[in-house]
Amino acid sequence: MNSAGGFRLGILGSGTGSNFVAIADACASGVIPARVSVVISDVEGAGILDRARERGLPSRFIAPGKFRTKLDDVAEQAFVEALQQAEVDLVVLAGFMRILKGAFLRTFENRVVNIHPSLLPAFPGTASWKQAIDHGAKVTGCTVHFVDQGVDSGPIIAQQTVPVREDDSPESLHARIHAAEHALYPRCIAAIARGEVRIEGRRVRVKGAD
């Protein structure tokens, strides 16, 4: 952790930023013993940047480069530098829709977390709520995990189940998953900030979780 100023979060997002709002509010109310030191988006004009600005939090767009699903080397370096300048202790992916690889993950080893809208390892990738309906799953949910070199494959910190209803549309199911995410993600980040989370190979031990 940084010696001065307490535990710092760097948030990356590409979308509306509802998870970011839940996290920022939990920091402001003291539920998460940390502060948001920077919010970065790969999408110019993304809602998450507006939500950050409304809260007076430092935010910026960084162009992702020429690829569709990952950052190019120049962009990756710009993301790393911005996060280092903000002295972040933990990188929090909140709807960040690009895969992070090599140099980025080496720089922030075991310090990048993600929320995914399914019970991993089921339904990795995109539109997981739609995948759950198309598959006929009766239960889905959300997963908070550390990010490793794979896609949605890192060690799992916590999961929350969400029922799939007969009459669910992709939108109604995603709304229910979103509500579960807004409770689960701040709880996990608070536990990490308090030093209560330990990685042991594939297993993640969370103090007081049993």
Q: Binding residues for ligand GAR, per CB under 6 A? A: 13, 15-19, 94-95, 115-117, 178, 181
Q: Which is nearer to ligand GAR, 18 or 37 (by Cβ)?
A: 18
Query: 171 vs 200, which CB is nearer to ligand GAR?
Result: 171
Distance of closest approach, residue 210 Cβ to ligand GAR, in angstroms: 25
- From the CB of 111, what's the least distance to ligand GAR, in Å? 18
Give the Cα separation of 133 and 140 in Å (integer).
9
Identity of the residue, 17 or 64, whose beta carbon is nearer to ligand GAR in the bound complex: 17
Q: Which residue lies nearer to ligand GAR by CB, 10 or 17?
A: 17
Q: What's the min distance (Å) between Cβ of 16 and ligand GAR?
A: 4
Give the residue from 194, 149, 140, 210 showing the smallest Cα distance to 168: 140
Least distance to ligand GAR, CB of residue 68, Å: 14
Q: Which is nearer to ligand GAR, 24 or 88 (CB)?
A: 24
d(CA 156, CA 202): 8
Work out the burial of residue 166: count CB atoms within 10 Å of its CB; fewer than 13 is exposed, 13-18 middle, 19 or more buried: exposed
Residue 116 annotated as catalytic? yes
Shortest distance in whole angstroms from residue 65 CB to ligand GAR: 19
Evaluated on CA atoms 100, 105, 110, 111, the torsion sign reads negative
Instruction: Write out the catalytic residue numbers.
Output: 116
